[in-house]
Amino acid sequence: MSARILLTHPGTQYAHRLACQLHRLGLLEQFITGIGFSVESRMLRAFPTSLRKKISNRILDCGIREDQIQRILLPELIALYKIRQGKDILNIMHVRNERFQKSISDKQVKNSEGLIGFDTSSWLLARKAKQFGKPFFLDQSTIHPNEKINVVNSLKAQFPDWFVELPEKPDELMKLEEEEHTLSTKIVVASTFTKNSLISQGVPAEKIVINPYGVSKNFFRERNTSKRKKLRFLYLGLMGPAKGLPLLLQLWNEYELHQKAELWLVGPTPTPFNLDLLKGPGITYKGKLPHDQLPPLLNDCDCMVFPSFFDGFGQVILEAMAAGLPVITTTATAGPDIIENGVDGFLVSPGDKKGLAACMLEALADRTRLEDMSIRAREKARMFNWDSYGDRWKNILAYL
């Protein structure tokens, strides 16, 4: 198979991974993005080392030529500046996404054999694809926006102290996302949970394809097998209610788990945020860490707890498993697609505090079994590499 695919993404996420895979398979015509560089870029070489490290997730070290990357810098730079000023992020990102799409020419769309765009930044691209008779593949990175609203409203009532007041997404933006779903040839999601959220809102099931993400090789490190006096649990993610952190901290105190275990919390906080919410016996908040510091961090822990109420995938689940950590997570993530309950991790329903506590107590009760699960978790993670992700994309694009 040989095709000329136009891949577009105004920001980051995992688009650079997809670009590298399409290049490996000989399918990439051009990667259009906000800030992105091949390793051969002269501009990149002029940057100081500190800046190159800061934008490492925007550097494609996989053989992609510089002329295969088109940078649409201005909308991204303006958005980053305004976000730092604390302005309305929803409007900022919408304007960025609109300007980005308008910078893609009709000629580029006509000359391609297919287009890939990402949710919330592809409605104009999808219209152009339809206009010129080109197949359009929507990469849907999160659950349906209506489903997200339903869960968030429930969490506001359940954990009011944890919520920073955020602007509601305007109906106009919701309609644009619906248009992306309608105009797409195929919608590619990373989990069954995301697929079901779309189906529940009327998206035809036959239009949706599941393609789980991969995990980087640097997470597969030699594990430190020396036993700690106390088992160390890790929560890795945003310090907020959507990922289930308030529920985790409630049961941590109610079951007095600090007597037998430690809990490390790693990730950013919203602004503003009351750090007192993260205090408690046996709890250590370590802040947000750069991505390259996560592998050694995971090596210092024994089990990850990720009790999310909704997640399009939950990349940290796969990264923890690659590092040899059994993961306790919910069915509202990619957990059911990756984890065999009780074998290489644990699955509970979102919001099930008793079930979550039971899994943590089970991990505490039998350290030998947890070590066996660690080995199986790593073996399972090896099945989810980026090349496999790319090969599945090749099959999806066989539609062409």
Q: In whole angstroms, how far apart are CA 58 and each of 52, 110, 268, 365?
A: 9, 27, 20, 43
| pTM score | 0.93
Helices of type H across the chain = 15-24, 42-46, 49-54, 73-84, 89-102, 106-111, 123-131, 145-158, 171-183, 192-199, 245-254, 294-299, 315-322, 335-338, 353-365, 367-381, 386-397
Token pair, residue 98, equals 């609109």
For residues 207 and 187, the answer to whether their CB atoms sit within 8 Å is yes
Residue identified by tokens 């765009």 is 117
Give the pLDDT of the chain (400 residues) as one tens digit per residue. 556 999 999 998 899 999 999 999 999 999 999 999 998 888 888 888 888 877 887 888 999 999 999 999 999 999 999 988 877 888 999 999 999 999 999 999 999 999 999 999 999 999 999 999 999 999 999 999 999 999 998 999 899 888 766 667 889 999 999 999 999 999 999 999 999 999 999 999 999 999 999 999 999 987 776 777 899 999 999 999 999 999 999 999 999 999 999 999 999 998 778 899 999 999 999 999 988 899 999 999 999 999 999 999 999 999 999 999 999 999 999 999 999 999 999 999 999 999 999 999 999 999 999 999 999 999 999 999 999 999 999 999 986 6
CB count in 10 Å sphere of residue 358: 16
For residue 281 the two structure tokens come to 């016996």
